[in-house]
Structure 1
Amino acid sequence: MGSAGSLKVGGNGLEVKEDVVPVGFDEGLLRGLCEMDCALPLLADRIKQSIASCKQVAVFFRSRAEIEEKYARSLTELCRTTGDVYSRADCKAGTFVAAYQSSLKLQNSLAENRIRFSQRLNEMSDELLGLAREGEKLRKMHKENGARYQGILQESEMVMDKAKARFDATAEELERVLVAKEGESIKESGMRSGGAGSSSGGNKGRGIGKAMTKGGLLFKGKGAASMQRQEDDVRARMAQASETFRKAVLESQALRQEYFNFQLPKILRLLKECADELDMGTQYHLARFAFLYESTVVGEGTLLNPMGAPDDGPGLKAIFEGIDNRTDFKSYMQNYAVARGTPRGPRREGPYEEGFLPPLPPHVQKGESNPNQVSQQSNGISNTNGHPSGANNNLPTPLPVSQAPSSEGYSVPGIPASSGATFGVDLGEQLARDGVEVPKVVEKCAEAIEAYGLESMGIYRLSGTTSRVQALKNALDKDVDSVDVLSEEWSADINVVSGALKLWFRELPEPLLTFGLYHQFIEAARYENDRLRHIRLHEQVNDLPDPNYATLKFFMGHLDRVRRKDSINQMSVSNLSIVFGPTLLGAPPNEGGLNLEHMSFQCKAIETILEKYHEIFVEEEESAGTGAGTATLEVS
């Protein structure tokens, strides 16, 4: 039975204790109890009440713990089943599913807090029941001690009463002996006087008769010597009875003094301390319950609304506010044709005579370019790269990146490389500025994902929180070298890193596979024969500019490592191609940037390149390194 105290949160966030009630014993109250004849039953009944109250509080804690545990486990089961059902149902994806899953995770955290609260309540209930059992034990022990001392005192008083009665009886017997002896003396003196006057003789006769009556018949016929012996015997017995009575009185006085001056105050103190300990223990656990309940509610409030604390993550409201319905719908549009097939609707264009409207003017006009160069690019011989090419390599050296026209003459707006930005900057300009073969942002994000995200369910398919993705983008744009993507700040939610990498590819002024080779890639992806499709796509990959080829090779190697964990992360080659098909192989601006009819071929092209990653990139370089020369793929 420990000391009573309550918990509170100090300035340093630690739990400290303070007294709920002042500790100490009221000596004046003890003196008042000692003066009462009913002190023992009073305290015994008070302890009985305290034990009953303690047990009732313990029962309340136990019942409340059962309610909390049932609620928490029901909430946990609801979150689990809801997540499973949602994953199997045909529901929205994108930022909505990310926010929905985050909300389920947050509610699961609330359930865990309630489980801990329930466990604490069970512990307090057990402690209170133990306190009540200890109180019953002490009450019984001290009550028995008090009854035992009272019995000893009563027994001593009975012994004293018996000794007094024995002394009184002996005293009466001595009185009778003395009276009888006095009467015998008067009789003898009358007989020696020889007859006095009639009046005096009559008086003496009455005195003798009175003495004989008082002495009784016990002394009839006894002489003076016999009377003397009897007197001596009675006096001896009276002295013994007097001594016994005196000892009984002294012993009773000593026991009474010890009981009232020592034993009774001691027993009353112990009983009062037992009652106080029960009362303070019950009050302490009630105060502890209040603190734990308050802490649980405040903790839930902090989870629901962190009040701007960066380490606590977004609150429930911020999670749902992060849903980007517009982005989700655009992603749904891009993936719809792949997932459900391209639906065939009414013809959009046709002869004017048949009632069709004239075609709409293009939204993006082609810029001025060299027609010969455009023709050469469309034939797949636009550059002389360091990687193998399937066309003639005897071409003029291309212009520097800053002077080279865009693919097929499209004017591709972008952020100047001189700004130091990472997102929205032309790939070639970015690599030339940084003096690297692969963009730093791609290397950093891929390294973090391979370190922490290869076994993350739905990596690249699930999106991170929009605000966090934007924050990582801003940090990389500000100074890509100073950002540690592997740190817990960013890698704690690996979907934020994957979302930033996808955003970097989407914001490229020109897709990674270029506008100039878009139709060639689409036509190559149309082949139903796997081998022929692989060869044609291999040719188009070799025709990519050096920056695009190096970046594609690095990124396909990264995706190859991701898809090798598809049994865990559920991101197969097909799923990855659905995510990156429209991004890496985007339609030219004059086609609106989105071609639903080509979407399945965009995904098929990326799927084939990823499946044949080793044949296209690894084996080709190995054969080139052994002196095999530049491989030329020919199809009859």
Structure 2
Amino acid sequence: YAAKATPVAKSAAPYQEYLMDLISFMKKRSVMEAEYGTNILKLATGLRDNYRQQPDGANGQAHFKQGTYGDCWTHILEMHERLGNNRLEFSRDLQVVSEELSSIYKETDRSRKQFKEAGAKQERIVQEHEQNLEKAKQKYDTLTEEWERAILQKAADPTASKKTMTKGMSIFRQPKSVNQLQRQEEEARAKASSAHEQYKTQLAKTNDTRQYYFSHTLPSMLKNLKDTIDESDLSLQYYLMRYGYMYEDYMMKDAVILNPINSDLGMRDRVEMVNKDADLQVFVQAYAAKATP
């Protein structure tokens, strides 16, 4: 489990980066569509209003854009107004998507960090128990060695040690009596026995902690991390598909504006209806009517 934990935990981070890339893309695309839609709308509206506000002509003469061309031009500008509004609506939808993705990113990132922190906390608990176990073992080994030395000293001949001791040394350190050696051995044995019990207790605690960590904590953390990765993956797929559908839908709306599927005339149809001869006749007639006193 421990070997698998690191790769699984690391694999969750790239999905967060993918989400951030998608969020950034949606935000920037929304701004671009808003700018494009606003500029198209401003251009078309300004030209249309300017065209409608123009007088019939200089000194009250007929305007040269009357007739079929004037109708065609007005419809083309109205189409571009609708195209601009369509792009503004697309921009708003992209902004909604980016906000939803941002919420998902914050939630999944928070969950991922919580799972990792909880797992790291339990791992530290296991490490602390293992360190305490190592300390208890070292203490037990040390006291066991002291007990063994006490047994050897007790079993040795006290008079032999006394004979080999120099006179100078005997002044500062007198050999221990049999009772002292007996008491020393009993104390060392009691300390070693107590350390052994402490070691066994700590070993049981460490094993229980290890068992809980590897059978419950770590599998739960891995499952939660995998669920987070799966959720991020599904979110990426869903919103990419949603973006594709939205893009197609708005492109279709643009196409329908330019070339309606019903009985309305499209841009090319409007242009084909322009009749310069008829427009010239209308212009001449209007000019003549205004020129007549």
Determine which structure has greater relative contact order: mean sequence separation of CA pairs < 8 Å that are 6+ residues apart, divided by chain length: 2
Once the two structures are superposed, the pairs formed by residues 297-336 of structure 1 within 5 Å of their partners are 297-307=251-261, 309-310=262-263, 313-336=264-287
CA distance in 2, matches of 1:81, 1:315: 22
AA aligned to 1:335 is A
AA aligned to 1:129 is S
Query: Secondary structure of the equivalent of 1:160?
Result: helix
List alignment gaps of at least 5 residues for structure 1.
1-33, 189-204, 343-599, 601-636
How many residues align? The count is 277
CA distance in 1, matches of 2:174, 2:71: 126
CA distance in 1, matches of 2:23, 2:145: 68
Q: Greater Rg, structure 1 or structure 2?
A: 1
**How big is the shift at 1:326?**
4.7
CA distance in 2, matches of 1:75, 1:177: 99
AA aligned to 1:166 is K
Tell me which of 191, 202, 219 is aligned to 1:265: 219
Residue 174 of structure 1: aligned partner: 147
Residue 132 of structure 1: aligned partner: 105
Residue 197 of structure 2: aligned partner: 243
Contact 1:79–1:107 under 8 Å retained in 2: yes
Contact 2:26–2:95 under 8 Å retained in 1: yes
Residue 112 of structure 1: aligned partner: 85
CA distance in 2, matches of 1:290, 1:220: 96
Query: Secondary structure of the equivalent of 1:36?
Result: helix
Q: Deviations over 1:78-130 (max 9, x none)?
A: 11111122221633213332222122212211111111111111222222233
CA distance in 1, matches of 2:175, 2:65: 133
Tell me which of 101, 116, 122 is aligned to 1:143: 116
Residue 389 of structure 1: aligned partner: none
Residue 18 of structure 2: aligned partner: 53
AA aligned to 1:294 is E
1:296 aligns with 2:250: yes
**How big is the shift at 1:154?**
0.8
Percent identity, please.
29
CA distance in 2, matches of 1:67, 1:176: 85
Residue 84 of structure 1: aligned partner: 49
Once the two structures are superposed, the pairs formed by residues 416-435 of structure 1 within 5 Å of their partners are none
Contact 2:64–2:283 under 8 Å retained in 1: no
**How big is the shift at 1:146?**
2.0
CA distance in 2, matches of 1:47, 1:220: 71
What's the TM-score once normalised by structure 1's chain length? Answer: 0.41
**How big is the shift at 1:327?**
4.3
Query: Secondary structure of the equivalent of 1:92?
Result: coil
Residue 165 of structure 1: aligned partner: 138
Once the two structures are superposed, the pairs formed by residues 184-203 of structure 1 within 5 Å of their partners are 184=157
1:337 aligns with 2:291: no
CA distance in 2, matches of 1:285, 1:134: 16
Greater helix fraction, Structure 1 or Structure 2: 2
Residue 282 of structure 1: aligned partner: 236
Residue 59 of structure 2: aligned partner: none
**How big is the shift at 1:133?**
2.6
Query: Secondary structure of the equivalent of 1:146?
Result: helix
AA aligned to 1:85 is N
CA distance in 1, matches of 2:69, 2:124: 82
**How big is the shift at 1:306?**
2.4
**How big is the shift at 1:333?**
3.7
CA distance in 2, matches of 1:136, 1:150: 21
**How big is the shift at 1:220?**
5.8
**How big is the shift at 1:249?**
0.5
AA aligned to 2:87 is R
Query: Secondary structure of the equivalent of 2:3?
Result: coil
